[in-house]
Amino acid sequence: MPLVAFSSPKGGVGRTTLAATVAVALRRLGWRVLAIDFDRQNALRLNFELADDLRGVAHDFEANRDWNEIAVETPAGVHLIPFGAVPAHDWLRLHGHLTQNPGWLRQRLAPLAEQRDLVVIADLPTSPSQLNVELDGYADVHVVPLLADAMSLAVLPRLQRGEYLLAGNTQPAPQVGYVINQVDPRRQLCRDVLALSRDVLGADLFGMVHLDEGVAEAAACQLTVLDYAPESAASYDIMAIAQRVHASLAPV
């Protein structure tokens, strides 16, 4: 069971959008896919026409129940475990639980680890959080979306030095693939950021995604852009990124 984590030190960069869309793309590439929402915005479900009252990671976590019981099948063929709509207090309680029970998260994932044709997609909150302590070293691949702006360029060296990951000395070190998101080719700054990112990141740049109204419209229709606008620029971009993720995982 490979684990692909979507994380970044900054919010609003496209983690949830890319996690959902890459999940659908990997399904189409032959994987069975389980997408897990670890962010209290509980937004991953919004791409899959799912109700907001579903139980999820943040419900009854002290009961140590089997996560297979809370996974739901979405119309897109991806299985999903929502975070759950819970108040802020429960978020803190969950983090307290994670701190006091090291290994708890990995134990929840252990029954899935045997399934070689299953890929788990983790949509993580803005890092670092207690979730990163367990998942950063456990993930096979980290996909880190960045916006095509000057701030992203400024943080790139620190990202590359691994300062934002809590993977410790995990061997083998997880692979990190960057995505420059919301690229508007009409803007000089976007073109410059993309060109510089290509130079700096080389093969670690998994791809770029155009700023595409279809992405925002798809979310409004509770779909991923692959289903909403399959011929759009963003669909092609994200499919190509999914191919990179697919190539970095063990064969199905």
Residues lying near ligand ADP in the complex (CB under 6 A) are found at 11-17, 43, 181-182, 209, 211-212, 215-216, 219, 234
With respect to ligand ADP, which residue has the nearer C-beta, 111 or 230?
230
Among the residue ranges 12-20, 69-77, 128-136, 187-195, the one whose residues contact Mg ion (CB under 5 A): 12-20
115 — alpha (psi -120 to 50), left (phi > 0) or beta?
beta
What 3-state class would DSSP assign to 217? helix
Q: How many residues does the chain have?
A: 252
With respect to Mg ion, which residue has the nearer C-beta, 63 or 220?
220
Q: Which does 134 bind (CB under 5 to 8 A by kind): ligand ADP, Mg ion, none?
A: none
With respect to ligand ADP, which residue has the nearer C-beta, 209 or 245?
209
Q: Which does 79 bind (CB under 5 to 8 A by kind): Mg ion, ligand ADP, none?
A: none
Q: Which does 57 bind (CB under 5 to 8 A by kind): Mg ion, ligand ADP, none?
A: none
**Contacting residues for 134 by C-beta, under 8 A, at least 6 apart:** 98, 102, 103, 104, 105, 106
Integer Cα distance of 167 and 235 in angstroms: 31
Rounded to 5 degrees, φ, ψ at 218 are -60, -45
Q: Which does 13 bind (CB under 5 to 8 A by kind): Mg ion, ligand ADP, none?
A: ligand ADP
* Residue 204: both structure tokens together: 């670690």
Binding status of residue 16 toward Mg ion by CB under 5 A: yes
* Residue 21: both structure tokens together: 């869309």
With respect to ligand ADP, which residue has the nearer C-beta, 1 or 76?
76
Q: Which does 146 bind (CB under 5 to 8 A by kind): ligand ADP, Mg ion, none?
A: none
Number of residues that bind Mg ion (CB under 5 A): 2
Q: Cβ of residue 195: shortest distance to Mg ion, in angstroms?
A: 27
- Spell out a b/e string for 109-145, using b for 16 or more CB atoms within 10 Å of the CB, else e: beebeeeeebbbbbbbbebebbbbbbbbbbbbbbbbb
- The contact set with Mg ion (CB under 5 A) reads 15-16
